[in-house]
């Protein structure tokens, strides 16, 4: 076929073949008349279709996105279903209507022989019809190529069905296959704009999004995915509910490749699993490529060894009286080379590299020591709150660490509070509820942190019986203007009070928000309006100055 003459297809702006060179009918295995009027996308195989859509979207203004000319491999579908790999050169016609494309196809004979042996259809998953892992590589490579030219970002969501093995074992292979097909269909139905769905392994799907701010698109999209996926499935007269854990990685299209993105998305997915499943986790954007992550890991090791981490403290105040209710301990790391690294960045690294248990135990000891000193020197009468990571909860040594830290500094259990995020709680709920009860029986407070960002239900909360619920700052910062946020916060306050828990609003930055919270009956608040987190010395000065005044250190 290599010896055939020029073989170009002339494609209209709406994607139909309007004219073809003499050699084209032979290449496509159909007669010239039948060829005209066909959609060009129907004459190439799935991955090539994907690539063609990437490079040139029929019906869209080509000046917006597609490059003026390009060269790529495309596999042509002949009328008899056989495939011919080609190298395609495309350029927009200078004199035709906008979007008019001239597609010159040169068959690749050697490639054809090799691909025949290697079954080219293995780019697609037979069960769902979606691109498989090899197909996903094509989809992502093509998206990166386009996105690099346009300065766009690409987000990859790695979706893993929770406990899929139990579906397989409990309902059998056929039902499990139907479940996978339905999930593929649900994901595809939700995809809009530039959004591609692939099935990359048994119970693993990918959603790929490209755009100016694909991470922001994903933030809106992922909660929809989670809730759509967990809707009941009717299969063979049986009703099944499956949930999924989703990890999302985003990167500028320039400077990243398929493997790096997949690795980050898959790490993020594992983290979503560890956070209790049926939830999602965004790989931190700053920690991007593995080199930087590696640097953080190595330096964090050293920082822990050399005691270079510190705790800062931020007051939590009573909304009515303004008096101090507790102090939250927040980890700080100022590295000589990396500068100030946010705990939102280094805590996930510590969790992934096995450093979190030691780090968490250190924070407990350090905070208890500080509370004991303030109690002795300044008569501090309110507890110190310490954040607890999901990893500490799962290791089963938390109770021991807590009791040891109290004992070491002779601190009363009533002077300590633990903050556990909502998503960390969902994992192994019964066990955690027992532990929380034992700790609370000793007088240790247990607060649910970042409430509203995870997926706990009311019944679950009732079992857990927290002493405090901290409403995530995303619901708080616009409270004065946003009616929906107000309705949510009101509902959380009512629910928390119904189960006997106090409510703290996080991230209070303005007097308007403080007043709105007071009106809604919120008990306590934390935020820059009252005080920023500060080093122990500064907080000590502040406690000394404010003792007996607006923020008296002593609270009944």
Give contact residues for ligand C2E (rule: CB under 6 A): 314, 330-331, 342-344, 347, 360, 363, 387-389, 419, 449-450, 473, 506-509, 526-528, 533
- Which of the choices ligand C2E, Mg ion, none does residue 261 contact, using the CB cut-off of 5 to 8 A by kind? none
CA atoms within 13 A on the CB side of 327: 34
**Nearer to ligand C2E (CB atom), residue 238 or residue 342:** 342
Sign of CA dihedral 379, 385, 391, 395: positive
Which residue of the chain is nearest ligand C2E when measured via CB?
A: 527
**Nearer to ligand C2E (CB atom), residue 345 or residue 403:** 345
**Nearer to ligand C2E (CB atom), residue 162 or residue 506:** 506
Residue 389 Cβ, how far from ligand C2E at the closest point, in Å?
Answer: 4
Residue 283 Cβ, how far from ligand C2E at the closest point, in Å?
Answer: 16
Provide φ and ψ at 128, rounded to 5°: -105, -15
- When binding is defined by CB under 5 A, the residue of 450, 485, 523, 524 that contacts Mg ion is 450
| CB contact at 8 A, 426 and 276 | yes
Distance, in Å, from the CA atom of 266 to the CA atom of 330, rounded to the nearest integer, reads 28
- When binding is defined by CB under 5 A, the residue of 387, 392, 436, 526 that contacts Mg ion is 387
**Nearer to ligand C2E (CB atom), residue 466 or residue 527:** 527
Interface of this chain with Mg ion, residues 203 to 232, rule: CB under 5 A: none
**Nearer to ligand C2E (CB atom), residue 12 or residue 526:** 526
Nearby residues of 352 by Cβ (< 8 Å), 6 or more positions away = 267, 271
- When binding is defined by CB under 5 A, the residue of 160, 203, 422, 449 that contacts Mg ion is 449
Residue 49 Cβ, how far from ligand C2E at the closest point, in Å?
Answer: 44
DSSP codes of every residue in 317-331? EETTT--EEEEEEEE
Binding window for Mg ion (CB under 5 A); candidates: 50-58, 416-424, 429-437, 495-503:
416-424
**Nearer to ligand C2E (CB atom), residue 115 or residue 509:** 509
Residue 522 Cβ, how far from ligand C2E at the closest point, in Å?
Answer: 14
- Which of the choices ligand C2E, Mg ion, none does residue 128 contact, using the CB cut-off of 5 to 8 A by kind? none
| CB contact at 8 A, 153 and 253 | yes
Task: Kindly state the helix (H) or strand (E) to which residue 535 belongs, with its residue range.
Answer: strand 534-535
Binding window for Mg ion (CB under 5 A); candidates: 44-52, 73-81, 105-113, 380-388:
380-388
Residue 438 Cβ, how far from ligand C2E at the closest point, in Å?
Answer: 20
DSSP codes of every residue in 259-323? HHHHHHHHHHHHHHHHTTSSSEEEPPSTT-SHHHHHHHHHHHHHHHHTT-EEEEEEEEEETTT--
Distance, in Å, from the CA atom of 225 to the CA atom of 409, rounded to the nearest integer, reads 48
- Which of the choices Mg ion, ligand C2E, none does residue 485 contact, using the CB cut-off of 5 to 8 A by kind? none
Residue 331 Cβ, how far from ligand C2E at the closest point, in Å?
Answer: 4
Burial 169-196 (b: 16+ CB within 10 A, else e): eebeeebbebbbbbbbebbbeeeeebbb
| CB contact at 8 A, 175 and 272 | no
Distance, in Å, from the CA atom of 393 to the CA atom of 422, rounded to the nearest integer, reads 12
Provide φ and ψ at 327, rounded to 5°: -125, 125
**Segments of 307-398 assigned E as strands:** 309-318, 324-335, 339-341, 384-388
Both tokens of residue 3?
Answer: 């010896």
Residue 406 Cβ, how far from ligand C2E at the closest point, in Å?
Answer: 17
**Nearer to ligand C2E (CB atom), residue 13 or residue 296:** 296
Provide the CA 52 distance to its chain's centre, in angstroms: 29
Q: Per rule CB under 5 A, is residue 422 in the interface with Mg ion?
A: no
Distance, in Å, from the CA atom of 104 to the CA atom of 295, rounded to the nearest integer, reads 48
Binding window for Mg ion (CB under 5 A); candidates: 67-75, 202-210, 395-403, 447-455:
447-455
Residue 347 Cβ, how far from ligand C2E at the closest point, in Å?
Answer: 5
Provide the CA 457 distance to its chain's centre, in angstroms: 21
**Nearer to Mg ion (CB atom), residue 121 or residue 509:** 509
Q: Judged by CB under 5 A, how many residues of this single chain contact Mg ion? A: 5
| CB contact at 8 A, 524 and 325 | yes
Q: Per rule CB under 5 A, is residue 314 in the interface with Mg ion?
A: no
Residue 247 Cβ, how far from ligand C2E at the closest point, in Å?
Answer: 18
**Segments of 400-467 assigned E as strands:** 416-421, 445-451
- Which of the choices ligand C2E, Mg ion, none does residue 88 contact, using the CB cut-off of 5 to 8 A by kind? none
Helix axes 398-409, 429-442, angle to 10 degrees: 20
Binding window for Mg ion (CB under 5 A); candidates: 13-21, 252-260, 381-389, 390-398:
381-389
Residue 467 Cβ, how far from Mg ion at the closest point, in Å?
Answer: 14
Residue 199 Cβ, how far from ligand C2E at the closest point, in Å?
Answer: 34
- Which of the choices ligand C2E, Mg ion, none does residue 549 contact, using the CB cut-off of 5 to 8 A by kind? none
| CB contact at 8 A, 324 and 379 | no
Interface of this chain with Mg ion, residues 473 to 532, rule: CB under 5 A: 506
State the residues that interact with Mg ion by CB under 5 A. 387, 419, 449-450, 506
């Amino acid at each position: 076929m290599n010896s055939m003459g020029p073989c170009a297809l002339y494609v209209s702006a709406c994607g139909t073949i309007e004219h073809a060179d003499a050699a084209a009918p032979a290449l496509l295995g159909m007669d010239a008349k039948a060829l005209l009027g066909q959609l060009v996308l129907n004459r190439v195989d799935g991955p090539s279709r994907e690539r063609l859509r990437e490079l040139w979207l029929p019906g869209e203004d080509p000046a917006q996105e597609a490059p003026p000319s390009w060269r790529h491999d495309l596999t042509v579908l002949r009328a008899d279903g056989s495939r011919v790999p080609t190298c395609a050169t495309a350029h927009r016609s200078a004199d035709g209507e906008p979007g008019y494309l001239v597609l010159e196809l040169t068959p690749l004979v050697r490639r054809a022989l090799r691909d025949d042996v290697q079954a080219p259809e293995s780019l697609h998953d037979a069960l769902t019809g979606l691109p498989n892992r090899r197909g996903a590589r094509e989809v992502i490579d093509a998206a990166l190529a386009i996105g690099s030219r346009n300065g766009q970002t690409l987000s990859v969501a790695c979706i893993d069905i929770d406990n899929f093995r139990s579906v397989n074992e409990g309902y059998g292979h056929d039902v499990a296959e139907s479940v996978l097909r339905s999930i593929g269909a649900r994901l595809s139905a939700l995809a809009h704009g530039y959004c591609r769905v692939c099935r990359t392994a048994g119970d693993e799907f990918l959603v790929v999004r490209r755009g100016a701010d694909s991470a922001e698109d994903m933030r809106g999209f992922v909660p929809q995915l989670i809730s759509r996926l967990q809707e009941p499935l009717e299969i063979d007269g049986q009703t099944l509910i499956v949930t999924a854990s989703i990890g999302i990685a985003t990167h500028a299209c320039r400077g990243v490749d398929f493997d790096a993105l997949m690795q980050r998305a898959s790490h993020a997915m594992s983290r979503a699993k560890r956070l209790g499943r049926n939830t999602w986790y965004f790989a931190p954007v700053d920690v991007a490529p593995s080199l930087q992550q590696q640097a953080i890991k190595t330096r964090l090791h050293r920082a822990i060894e050399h005691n270079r981490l510190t705790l800062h403290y931020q007051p939590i105040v009573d909304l009515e009286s303004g008096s101090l209710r507790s102090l939250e301990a927040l980890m700080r790391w100022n590295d000589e080379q990396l500068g100030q690294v946010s705990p939102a960045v280094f805590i996930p690294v510590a969790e992934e590299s096995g450093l979190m248990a030691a780090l968490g135990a250190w924070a407990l000891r350090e905070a208890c020591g500080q509370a004991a000193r303030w109690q002795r020197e300044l008569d501090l009468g309110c507890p110190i709150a310490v954040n607890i990571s999901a990893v500490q909860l799962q290791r089963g040594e938390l109770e021991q660490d807590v009791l040891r830290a109290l004992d070491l500094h002779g601190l009363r259990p009533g002077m300590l509070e633990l903050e556990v995020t909502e998503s960390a709680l969902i994992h192994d709920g019964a066990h955690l509820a027992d532990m929380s009860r034992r700790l609370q029986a000793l007088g240790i407070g247990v607060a649910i942190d970042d409430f509203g960002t995870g997926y706990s239900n009311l019944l679950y909360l009732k079992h857990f019986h927290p002493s405090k619920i901290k409403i995530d700052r995303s619901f708080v910062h616009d409270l004065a203007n946003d009616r929906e946020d107000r309705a949510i916060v009101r509902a959380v306050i009512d629910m928390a009070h119904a189960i006997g828990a106090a409510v703290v609003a996080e991230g209070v930055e303005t007097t308007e928000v403080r007043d709105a919270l007071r009106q809604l009956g919120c008990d306590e608040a934390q935020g820059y309006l009252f005080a920023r987190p500060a080093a122990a010395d500064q907080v000590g000065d502040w406690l000394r100055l404010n003792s007996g005044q607006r923020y008296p250190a002593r609270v009944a």
